[in-house]
Structure 1
Amino acid sequence: MHDLSFRDRAVFLAGPETLVVADLHVGRDEVSGVEFPLGERADLRERLDGLLAHYKPAVVVVAGDVLHSFSQISPAVTASLDELADCCHDAGATFVLVAGNHDTMLSEVWDGPIHESYRLTDGTVVCHGHETVDEDAERYVVGHDHPAIEIEGQRRPCFLFGEGTYRDADVLMLPAFNCLAAGVPVNTMQTSDFQSPFVTDVDVFCPVVYDTDSHETLTFPPLGEFRKML
């Protein structure tokens, strides 16, 4: 993981100068009845702006579930997605969308390319992770399961890293970027509990937590060992 940098539910890959986020679920606030103090659109935009300023990526990839609703898209959702694309454009970054299982209507609001998977220059393949892909890779970066971990009664979004766990390639699963997605605690989850086929043995995956207070990245032992300590 030496080339990976974690921050605010996102990962930056230094080699290909690429920032990856997953599970934006734009429009989730409209159906959840829960609102941010500044609104979902402002929260997503400001956090993405902060990541763009910090990393200055050449490419930003959204690893699926760009949208939340399967059946209807409001003008507010379209405006939110346009703002995120504009943020990337203004920062000089290419904005790339990978489709997830929620994105049945993505082509209605996005006239650019929509990818099933996206290969980076270092051989990493980014996909949503809800189904397998035909492409071989050195590493797969996925979303879909919204992982979190509970430590001392506090639920924190987490990344899951498995070395050589899928077709001998590394797998990195990202938490949901939308803060309304609190995450699914992986503490007691078994492999069969995961929806993603990229998790073939959860016990060997290491939870990774970005501490927003100390701005430190905390990497824990594999879940098979770590859950005994919790």
Structure 2
Amino acid sequence: MAVTVPPNSQLNLQVSHAIICLRYVLLDARYTVYVIDTDVVYRSRALWVPDAATLVISDLHIGRDEASNVQLPLGERDDLLERIQTHLNALTPETVVVAGDIFHRFEGATSESRTTLAALIDACTDVGARCVFVRGNHDTGLDSTHHTTVVDSYTLNGLPEESPKTVICHGHVEPATTAERYIIGHDHPAITIEGQRHPCFLSVPDGYQDADIIMLPAFSRLAAGVSINTASGSDLQSPLITQLEHAQPTIYDDQAAKSLSFPPLQSLRAML
């Protein structure tokens, strides 16, 4: 049974979320709650880890507009910087980690793309945050482009002892660092509810070698992604997620300024 609410309503997504979760609790005999990420805060295409004072974003794909002639109303540079600045002003992080695919072009960044990245670094520096760039599959020349911290993976520091060891990597290859939780990007997950496509986070318990996974949506609004409505693990490019049945999507509702976590996909799909 699909959830039906009035289209184009500001409350459309929130009403759908409430009905889906109620049906899940009342009707689904397989009811299980997966709570694997209570120490993180979902934001608009970004993840905030308060204990580490770290903001995590992924898949900027700077230069995507140049490569495809697709434009945003503000222009790609201003759009990226405006949204990043919103997070910086609200959180004043100590560290900003970009989990790969900073640039879009495989063959190297253009001067315009490098200027955009320099402006991003300046914005972070202005609030006292350091930038850490994790290499993605698009970032072949990143370390020779900017004098900043560039790594294959980044381990979060400052977490309480009871928190899982958390490693941030892009997710396009299997990580060399062992962790209890991985924060990744790469596949740009999205879900369609009531005809509206939403970028989403995916939380996967025991997703990779008994470690939990949090997959971030693309920070770029120009990057295409994988629709998880009917996708299987084999439809994802990341080797860290091989099945999606237990993956729990979370959408950030920009209008309401709140995150909405949905049931695992094995149950959610029957309600869409």
2:111 is matched with: 75
Give the match for residue 206 of structure 1: 248
Pairing 1:1-230 to 2, within 5 Å after superposition: 1-121=37-157, 122=159, 123-230=165-272
Percent of matched pairs sharing the same residue: 49
Q: Is the 8 A contact 1:100 1:128 kept in 2?
A: yes
Give SS of 1:160's match.
strand
Matched-pair contact (CA < 8 Å) for 1:157–1:182 = no
**Alignment partner of 1:43: what SS?**
helix
Residues of 2 paired with 1:175 and 1:58: CA distance? 22
Which 4+ stretches in 1 moved above 6 angstroms?
A: none
Aligned length: 230
TM-score, scaled to structure 1: 0.97
Give distance in 1, aligned partners of 2:108 and 2:100: 17
Displacement of 1:136: 1.2
Distance 2:67 2:195 in 1: 28
Moved more, 100-109 or 81-90: 100-109
Post-superposition offset of 1:49: 0.5
Does the 8 Å contact 2:42/2:48 carry over to 1?
yes
CA contact (8 A) 2:108 2:140 kept: no
The alignment yields a C-alpha RMSD, in angstroms, of 1.1
CA contact (8 A) 2:205 2:212 kept: yes
Task: In structure 1, list runs of 5 or more residues that go unmatched.
Answer: none
Larger deviation: 106-115 or 119-128? 106-115
Q: TM-score, normalised by structure 2?
A: 0.82
Partner of 2:14: none
